[in-house]
A and B are shown apart, each in its own frame.
Chain A
Amino acid sequence: SQTIHQWPATLVQPVGSPLSLECTVEGTSNPNLYWYRQAAGRGLQLLFYSVGIGQISSEVPQNLSASRPQDRQFILSSKKLLLSDSGFYLCALAASPLGYEQYFGPGTRLTVT
């Protein structure tokens, strides 16, 4: 079965500092990968998705970028964090073409101060 690892679990960063969140997956090949952000008490906002190595699609233009250097690695980055970047970041995969279900990692809680 698929396993999704995210680190770090929590992160406190000052405004203007860089960001790198990593997601790695196991138990599947060539998955679709997703980055979501969840504001406190709210639903999930899709930020980026990737259907393969080096292929990134952005859903919402903002202060973040994503990369997929390997099939099972998905990275979320920022050069300069804003206060509004605070939130709970979730990585997910869909083991296409087996189905549309998505499997989520444990998340990273980011607080920008």
Chain B
Amino acid sequence: SQQGEEDPQALSIQEGENATMNCSYKTSINNLQWYRQNSGRGLVHLILIRSNEREKHSGRLRVTLDTSKKSSSLLITASRAADTASYFCATASQTGANNLFFGTGTRLTVIP
């Protein structure tokens, strides 16, 4: 299966701290994406990093990609209570109709 796995499954931090989530995957990819899901809602795209990129920033988000280790990390700096959500990584294969394969998610709780 191409599906990724996030680590940790759950993370609880204080507001203002940084949150780091990791994702591992199994096959070669075209790109890797991170999504956020608030409870009971649809997913929201956060950031995409291509296989030839190593790091990407967007606001308080920093994503790294190590294709040799088939892993990625998402760092949220200066967390806020509103960042409380589940975060999923998703990989896009080098072939196919833009199909994404999602990981199992990290549940982040930011305590005010």
Contact = CB atoms under 8 A, between A and B. Distances in A.
Interface string B23-39: 00000001101000000
Interface stretch (B62-70, B77-85, B97-105): B97-105
A104 B44 contact: yes
Interface in A83-113: 88, 90, 92, 94, 96, 99-107, 109
By secondary structure, the B interface counts as strand
Interface residues of B, number: 24
A61 interface: no
Given A100-B31, A100-B33, A102-B98, A43 B88 contact: yes
Interface stretch (A11-19, A44-52, A63-71, A73-81): A44-52
A69 B92 CA distance: 26
A32 B100 CA distance: 12
Given A43-B3, A44-B88, A101 B45 contact: yes
Contacts of B88: 43-44
Interface residues on A, range: 20 to 34
B112 interface: no
Contacts of A49: 97, 99
A102 B100 contact: yes
